[in-house]
Amino acid sequence: MASCLAPSLFLRRLAVAVAVAVAALPVISSSSPAPGCYDSIISFGDSLADTGNELHLSRSEGRPNQAGSLPYGETYFRRPTGRFSDGRLVIDFIAEWLGLPFVAPYYGDDGGRSAADFRKGVNFAVAGATALDASFFEGRGLGNDFPNISLGVQLGLFKELLPSVCSTSSDCKQFLGNSLVLMGEIGGNDYNYHFFVGRDLEEIQGIVPLVIEGIVSAISELIDLGAVMILVPGNFPIGCLPIYLTEFQGSDKEAYDSSTGCLNWLNEFSQYHNEQLQRKLNHLRELHPRANIIYVDYYNAALRFYQSPDKFGFDGRVLRACCGGEGTYNYNILEPCNSNARVCDDPSSYASWDGIHFTEAAYRWIFKGVADGSFTVPKLDISCPALALNEPALTSSE
């Protein structure tokens, strides 16, 4: 991906030099972070990026939280942190790569964080969050047990927080210009709530434009506020997840990909969402040429270890959950992953943690795939965008 253009030959060469330096560095090493001008990460999304928000909300409201007890967090943190995995998520690997601290949840248990703390990064992602507001689902007879922390609500919380982090418009633009914005993954739950109550595929495909419009609208607002570098992940191959494989298990062999065992029609739906998202992002780039809007190909980064599980240490277990109940895919909604669940001996040999979310090992491979292009997806180029901040764009004659 190209960095923002600079207004002089010197800055153009400097931008190229930074990009070359990033390309030459090893990845997944907190001791050798990618160089850049990022002071913080600002994150929005659902359980795939939640670093503790839903845990805090559930405790404050007296609700149970699946990720609030072991075995969640057992691999890396050795304790539950509210992450829906045995360890770190993609957002954690990104932070390590950039030499930044793990992104703190907006809702924190300590309650003592200051504006200075939030300047180092803040995460609004909440498990169960949707791109569309709760009123949309209520209108369709689809209630859910999660609080209304949709993308619109998350964005509203960020805008409320912003004046305490930066005092003037120019200060806020500088803060956002020096921040990496991670927009999702978001939108998966909008579809999940429809799929798991039996709505037909045509109806679910019909809401894809609405979901994508919600994502694009949020990105536009952030750009207007000063965001320069925005990463926008696509959807995963949901046809490979144990929860979907169990829910839609059938005897029709034609429904399955013979090379992976994943459900074709569900993966095709994910690809449809991703294609529509990329088209909208292309249009958004035309409207905002100064911003660097990068589509992050989670789909193909994950698909590689379903196609070649042996290469990633997932041989024979790539479609099964590490923590769960019995059955073909070790997933049973009546036997969720909790302190009483059967947990595999080695989560690193499994791609799925609890049937819905990935293991730390899988998240690591997904990050590596998008960070260095090792899975033949475009390499993630996050060269310093602030070089061109508030500068006139180059014309074709320069």
Tally Cβ neighbours within 10 Å of residue 133. 15
Q: What distance in Å separates the CA atoms of residue 69 and residue 339, rounded to the nearest whole number?
A: 7
Tokens 């992602």 found at: 125
Q: Which of 56, 194, 273, 357 is catalytic?
A: 357
Active-site annotation holds for 3 = no
Active-site annotation holds for 315 = no
Q: Which of 3, 40, 43, 47 is catalytic?
A: 47
Tokens 């013979």 found at: 258
Residue pair 341/324 in contact (Cβ under 8 Å)? The answer is yes
DSSP-assigned letters across all residues of 128-197: T--SS-HHHHHHTT---SS-S--HHHHHHHHHHHHHHH-SSHHHHHHHHHTEEEEE-S-SHHHHHHHHTT
Residue pair 183/44 in contact (Cβ under 8 Å)? The answer is yes
Angle subtended by helix axes 151-165 and 169-177, to nearest 10:
120
Active-site annotation holds for 357 = yes
Task: Look at residues 65, 75, 70 and name the one whose alpha carbon lies nearest to residue 341.
Answer: 70
For the chain, the residue count is 398
Q: What distance in Å separates the CA atoms of residue 46 and residue 361, rounded to the nearest whole number?
A: 19
Q: Which residues are catalytic?
A: 47, 354, 357
